[in-house]
């Protein structure tokens, strides 16, 4: 993050989005396509972008976890205590907070009642100070900015001031999104292995979908991928084939049905994904998050299981059809895909529940 040259003015506003590490490029694609944003900077888990004005559609982004109005940023933290004075100084002197708070009010619903604020400091990496020290100096910087009548609260604040430190990089801003961006309102039923919606939305974007595509998630869990597919497909405003979802566990199928009630047309099945009751060459896209090695029953051999799955996906896919898969053991999946002569297109390294995982895209020759 370069401090100079990125300022928020009347006509041009700088924002940043926090994304799941690895999904930065997918978020870039969405920001450019949906908002016409100009990308200014990509760092681990962060995309900085510029828009022509206070566009409320920033809150409609699907591949991001949170969106902020940019206040200041740096790539040059020293890891020493000197950073703390800088954090205080940059916070109090650099941004035009009055302008930022006015734009914040234009974009975000503000809770009624006496104004309040909440301060969040995130810190990753080894620094010569603690997160609570960074928070203290951040707050000192803010004291000169926030009107004295505002209360500091833990929840439901009128304004949230965030500072995120990752190694030598720090970025500070006013949060525009709330929990609905990362949690989604459709998700009433949860299961431990259920996907983060923003990552599911990213997988949907990687599938390069067309309105006529028949889309299948054969191991749907609570249906996150198909819910994100349906949200994505809304933009087309033309009829589309029902999406198809299924799971070995009937309870998962019920949860997926409940979560997707009112979200597009879907057909649900309680099935074994290695023996799908679907015609050969009938599906355009498989988007799926098979169980990771740790999640499968003891006694199931992962290479054999993935081979059986991939062979079945190959059978049901149309020629040139694609699959987007998320697994932790990419090498085992790659072995299975190469056996079926799938053409490898792309791999993205990310994290799922703290574990390294890979999204890969494959095309049927
Ligand atoms: C990692 S979870 C999928 C999570 C899902 N993407 C979500 O967001 O909820 C894997 C799912 O595969 C299902 N599963 C495991 N073996 C299966 C099989 N042979 N056929 C179909 N589903 C299976 C599990 O019941 C589980 O719901």
> Count of CB atoms within 10 A of residue 298's CB?
4
**Confidence tier at 96 by pLDDT (50, 70, 90):** very high
Q: Which tokens in the block code for residue 140?
A: 């000192």
**pLDDT over 80 at 225, yes or no:** yes
**pLDDT over 50 at 5, yes or no:** no
Which residue's CA is the nearest one to ligand 1's atom 5? 221
Cα distance between residue 152 and residue 133, in whole Å: 18
Which ligand 1 atom minimizes the distance to the CA of 295? 1
**pLDDT over 50 at 3, yes or no:** no
The overall average pLDDT reported for the chain is 94
293 Cα to the center of ligand 1, angstroms: 12
Which residues does a 6 A CB cutoff place in the pocket of ligand 1?
Answer: 191, 193-195, 219-222, 224-225, 247-249, 252, 272-274, 289, 291, 295
Q: Does domain 184-364 have CATH number 3.40.50.150?
A: yes
Mutate to test the pocket of ligand 1, among 199, 247, 311 (most ligand atoms within 8 A of CB): 247
Average pLDDT in the 186-198 region?
90
Per-residue pLDDT tens over the stretch 71-80: 999 999 999 9
Cα distance between residue 89 and residue 172, in whole Å: 12
How is 189-242 classified by DSSP, letter by letter?
A: S--TTPPPHHHHHHHHHHT---TT--EEETT-TT-HHHHHHHHHHGGG-S--PP
Q: Same topology for domains 13-182 and 184-364, yes or no?
A: no
Residue 6: predicted pLDDT: 60
**pLDDT over 90 at 192, yes or no:** no
Average pLDDT in the 140-157 region?
92
Cα distance between residue 173 and residue 280, in whole Å: 51
Nearest to 159 by CA among 95, 104, 90: 104
| 13-182 CATH pick, 3.40.50.2020, 3.30.2130.30, 3.10.580.10, 2.60.120.380 | 3.30.2130.30
Which residue's CA is the nearest one to ligand 1's atom 16? 248
DSSP 8-class letter at 17: E
The residue ranges of every structural domain in the chain are: 13-182, 184-364
Residue 187: predicted pLDDT: 87
Pairing of strands 116-124, 46-51: unpaired
Nearest to 229 by CA among 278, 286, 313: 286
Per-residue pLDDT tens over the stretch 236-281: 999 999 999 999 999 999 999 999 999 999 999 999 999 999 999 9
**Confidence tier at 287 by pLDDT (50, 70, 90):** very high
Q: Which helix (H) or strand (E) holds 92?
A: helix 82-93
Q: Could you identify the residue written with the tokens 């039923």?
A: 189
Cα distance between residue 360 and residue 347, in whole Å: 4
Cα distance between residue 172 and residue 164, in whole Å: 6
- Name the CA radius of gyration of the chain, rounded: 23
End-to-end CA distance of the chain: 42
Which ligand 1 atom minimizes the distance to the CA of 273? 20
Predicted model pTM: 0.93
């Amino acid at each position: 993050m370069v401090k100079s040259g990125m300022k928020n003015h009347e006509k041009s506003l700088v924002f940043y989005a926090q994304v799941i590490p690895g999904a930065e490029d997918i978020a870039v694609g969405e920001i450019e396509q949906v908002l016409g944003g100009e990308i200014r900077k990509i760092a681990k888990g962060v995309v900085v972008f510029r828009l022509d004005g206070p566009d409320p559609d920033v809150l409609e982004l699907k591949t991001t976890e949170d969106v902020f109005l940019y206040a200041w940023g740096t790539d040059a933290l020293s890891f020493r205590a000197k950073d703390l004075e800088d954090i205080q100084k940059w916070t109090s002197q650099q941004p035009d907070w009055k302008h930022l708070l006015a734009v914040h009010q234009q974009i975000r619903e503000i809770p009624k009642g006496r104004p309040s604020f909440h301060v969040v400091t995130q810190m990753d990496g080894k620094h010569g100070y603690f997160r609570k020290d960074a928070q203290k100096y951040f707050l000192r910087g803010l004291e000169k900015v926030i009107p004295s009548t505002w209360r500091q609260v833990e929840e439901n604040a009128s304004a949230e001031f965030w500072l995120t430190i990752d190694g030598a990089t720090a970025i500070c801003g006013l949060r525009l999104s709330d929990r609905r961006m990362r949690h989604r309102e459709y998700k009433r039923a949860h299961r431990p292995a259920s996907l983060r919606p923003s990552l599911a939305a990213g997988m949907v974007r990687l599938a390069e979908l067309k309105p006529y595509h028949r889309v299948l998630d054969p191991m749907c869990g609570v249906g996150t991928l198909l819910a994100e597919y349906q949200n994505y497909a809304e933009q087309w405003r033309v009829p589309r084939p029902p999406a198809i979802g299924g799971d070995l566990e009937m309870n998962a199928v019920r949860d997926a049905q409940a979560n997707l009630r009112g979200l597009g047309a879907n057909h649900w099945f309680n099935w074994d994904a290695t023996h799908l009751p679907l015609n050969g060459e009938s599906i355009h896209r498989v988007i799926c998050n098979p169980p990771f090695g740790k999640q499968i029953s003891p006694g199931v051999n992962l290479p054999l299981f993935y081979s059986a799955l991939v062979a079945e996906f190959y059978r049901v896919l149309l020629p040139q059809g694609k699959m987007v898969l998320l697994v932790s053991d990419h090498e085992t999946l790659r072995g299975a895909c190469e056996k079926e002569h799938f053409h490898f297109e792309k791999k993205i390294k990310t994290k799922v529940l703290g574990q390294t995982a890979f999204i890969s895209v494959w095309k049927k020759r």
